Amino acid sequence: MFANSSPVVSNQTGLHERLEATVRRHLSQPWRAPLAEHDRRAFDQARQWLGEDARPLILDSGCGTGRSSVALARRFPEAKVLGLDQSDHRLRRGERRFGEALPENLRLVRCDCAGFWRLAEDAGWRLRRHYLLYPNPWPKSAHLKRRWHGHPVFPHLLALGGELEARSNWRLYLQELAAALALAGVEASLQPLPEDEAALTDFEEKYRLSGHELWRLTATLR
């Protein structure tokens, strides 16, 4: 693992000036964009895998090669874990990497997280835990709506409930997420990630080796 990751660089120095207006608009106006057929197929396959299993459900959204999903499935053997990522390449790397070591309570799913979340909400799913580990920060101010808290899917993320945990090496991303949650009536805690905590993802390990400050946001969604 190379310790050569550059810090996030942004033309923002504080919360985005359009954050509140954007979040309030999304909270008040349901997102009506068409759902992709491949997301419907992925959701149906995940639902079939879950079957009638009554174990609590954990989502690891944007799981990459699945390192974090494997760790979470081992940490919470009483739950079922779905690792979601849109990259077939990354997921196949994960399957090759872990092979038969993939826990029986884990399924890796190729899908767009935004579409999957909407389908999960429509199906009445309620999560025990939801992880957003080092999402793409989209650091340019013009890209606010590509960040999860600025995306129109944000209300659907909230509707899934559960204990939300998000991590980033860009503190401002999580500060904005906390502000967006507050607009939805949800209190969040933002703290530095302890240096002695085992890395959950390859990015987390690389950022730590590169000397970045790492941050964790936690919140209980209704």
pLDDT in tens, 23-52: 999 999 999 999 999 999 999 999 999 998
**Per-residue confidence (pLDDT) for residue 3, from 0 to 100:** 72
d(CA 175, CA 188): 10
Average pLDDT over residues 184-190: 98
- Residue 197 is encoded by which pair of tokens? 């905590």
pLDDT category at 140 given cuts 50, 70, 90 is very high
pLDDT at 160 over 70: yes
Count Cβ atoms below 10 Å from residue 1 Cβ, excluding itself. 11
**Per-residue confidence (pLDDT) for residue 205, from 0 to 100:** 96
**Per-residue confidence (pLDDT) for residue 18, from 0 to 100:** 98
| Contact status, residue 169 vs residue 207, Cβ threshold 8 Å | yes
Which spans in the chain are helix H?
A: 19-28, 37-50, 67-75, 88-98, 113-122, 154-159, 171-183, 202-209
pLDDT category at 1 given cuts 50, 70, 90 is low
CA-based angle 57:24:14, to the nearest 5? 95
pLDDT category at 2 given cuts 50, 70, 90 is low
